[in-house]
Every structure is written in structure tokens, then in C-alpha cells.
Amino acid sequence: MLEEIKTFIAVVEYKNFTKAAEAINLSQPSVSLHIRHLEEYFNTILIQRSVKQKKIYITQAGNLLYERSKQMIKLLEDTKDELADYENTVRGRLHIGASFTIGEYFLPAFLGQFAKKHPNLELEVTIENTYNICEKVKNFQVDLALIEGTVPSSNFVINHFYKDKMVLAVPYNHYLVNREFSIEELENQTWISREEGSGTREYLNLFLSSNNINAKNIIVFGSNYSVKEAVKNNLGITFISSLVTENSLRNKELSILKTSQEYTRNFSYILQKGIIPSKSTLVFIDMLKNYIKQ
């Protein structure tokens, strides 16, 4: 049954029997036989075949089995890693997803300590915007993710681990520094932002809407570093994590405007709902919680 499950996963992901057969080193008849065995076992149609168009379509039952199959394979792989030396050593591989602010400005220092404590655990980190990282959790492409935006709780197990301060950053000698300013003055600024789908852009939009600011011009950059550099070089102003601005404030490259209230957001770790986390994932989460308390 395990080989049939692996074959089915390949067919769904390649959307082609021939390509799937080549990828898993089986003959095409063997692939077809595996799929037929699964359909007989579950007593349902998993894949619809269009002979004339030479296309395949995954049924609703097939999509459900695909999700469960990914979970089963992941659980088996995690169990194999853990049983290698369950009592003493955390080993195997842990794939962490992170949104940009966390991946660039929080995670490196934490991973430095984590890797030192667990040298036998192979780490892989994927850094993308919040939306893309959440998709990778849904598709079992990462074991867990650290994100800065909001996500639907129906899809994930979500736990906060850090409260991040958001600040209104401007070039160092900007004329609004150390003075009261109006909504109109902020509306007339050029705003520097991340792309839609990022946690940083989500909170910029929230800041603008909650203060009734109709930004007349927004320039989009693909990373926090680029946003910071754009502000530093007088291209505009931004609303961003204080983690991004720390060094630039010390180096007198940026200034922070005083706002009438403090703005914060939560950093969260998320897991796919309904899975049993691996030992390495649980160890990572436990150390993350203790790291924040330090």
C-alpha cells in the first residue's frame, strides 16, 4: 500500500502518468496498476482520465487522499528519523518557513543558539512573504512556519511567540522629525512598502486605514532591506518593524516619528492542522518559547 500511495502522490503532483513513472522509476503500466489498486481499495474514483485530450483530473476524493497521503508519508519519515536515536539525540531534518521580517531579523540569532544545542539536526530555512509561507505549510513543504501576518485559524494551529513593535520610519533629517504633523502631511508623503501578501504590507494598510490616511503614492519593494534603504536614501517614509530599523537608528540613517499610540503585532508559529508534530518540531517550539523569555 505504501508504494501505491507514493505513486499516487507523484501522479497528482506531475499531473501526468508518464512523467510520474519517470520520476519514481516505474513503468507506466505499473503506475496505472497502482492507481487502480487504490481506487479498488477505497472504492472510489481518484483520477478521471480524458483519453482524447490525454489529460487527467483529480477528483474531490483524490484531493482528499492526496492531502492524507502527504501527512502519512511525512509521519513515516519523521518517525524513522526519531527512532534512529530517540532517547538521546534530536536528529533528522527540520524545514522551517519564515516570513521576511522574522527570517531576516529574528531567526538568524535564534538559529545560532538552536543549532549549537542540536548539532545533529539538519536545518533548512525558506524565507518568503506570509502568504507564500502559509501555502507551503498547507502543502507540507515545511514542518512549521514563523509568520508576522494574520492567517485563517481554520487552516492552521496558531500560537503567538513574540510581540513586535511597529514604527513610522523616515530619513534621518526628515522635516517631520520632532514636530507634530497632520494627516494631510502624511498623505502627501511617498510611502515605501512591501508587496501585497506580506505581513509588513498588511500592517501598513491597517495603519493607513485606521488613521484615515489616503496615501497618494506607494512604491513597492520585495524585501525589508530594500524598503529600509529606500527610506534611508530619501525616497519616502514607511511603517515597519522596529527590528528592521534598529541598526539604522544607531547609525543615524533613519529617524522614528512619534505617534499618538504604540503599534504592535504578533509573531506566530503555525502548524498544519491535524498533524502530529515531529520531535524536532516540538524541540524547536520549546526552545523558541524559552528564548523569548530570556
Question: Cβ atoms within 10 A of the Cβ of 252, count?
Answer: 9
Where, residue-wise, is CATH 1.10.10.10 in the chain? 2-77
In this prediction, residue 113 carries a pLDDT of 92
CATH class of 2-77: mainly alpha
Domain 80-157+272-293, CATH: 3.40.190.10
Indicate the pTM of the whole model.
0.68
Domain 163-266, CATH: 3.40.190.290
Closest to 58 in 3D by CA, of 7, 11, 104: 11
196: CB partners within 8 A, 6+ apart: none
Cell numbers found for residue 182: 497632520
- Is residue 235 predicted with pLDDT exceeding 70? yes
- Is residue 37 predicted with pLDDT exceeding 60? yes
| Average pLDDT in the chain | 89
Q: What is the pLDDT of residues 104-155, one digit of tens each?
A: 999 999 999 999 999 989 999 999 999 999 999 999 899 999 998 788 778 8
In this prediction, residue 48 carries a pLDDT of 87
270: CB partners within 8 A, 6+ apart: 134, 137, 144, 145, 146, 147, 151, 156, 157, 158, 159
pLDDT above 70 coverage of the chain, percent: 96
Where, residue-wise, is CATH 3.40.190.10 in the chain? 80-157+272-293
- Is residue 294 predicted with pLDDT exceeding 70? no
Which phi-psi region, left, alpha or beta, contains residue 244 (left: φ > 0; alpha: ψ -120 to 50)? alpha
Q: Which residue in the block uniquely carries the three cell numbers 511617498? A: 190
- DSSP class per residue in the chain: -HHHHHHHHHHHHHTSHHHHHHHTT--HHHHHHHHHHHHHHHTS--EEEETTTTEEEE-HHHHHHHHHHHHHHHHHHHHHHHHHSTTT---EEEEEEE-HHHHHHTHHHHHHHHHHH-TTEEEEEEE--HHHHHHHHHTTSSSEEEESS---TTTEEEEEEEEEEEEEEEETT-TTTTS---HHHHHTSEEEE--TTSHHHHHHHHHHHHTT---SEEEE-SSHHHHHHHHHTTS-BEEEEHHHHHHHHHTTSEEEE--SS-EEEEEEEEEETT----HHHHHHHHHHHHHHH-
Torsion of CA 143, 146, 292, 225, to 10 degrees: 130
CA distance 23 to 10: 8
As a whole number, mean pLDDT of residues 250-266 equals 93
230: CB partners within 8 A, 6+ apart: 192, 219, 221, 236, 238
36: CB partners within 8 A, 6+ apart: none
Where, residue-wise, is CATH 3.40.190.290 in the chain? 163-266
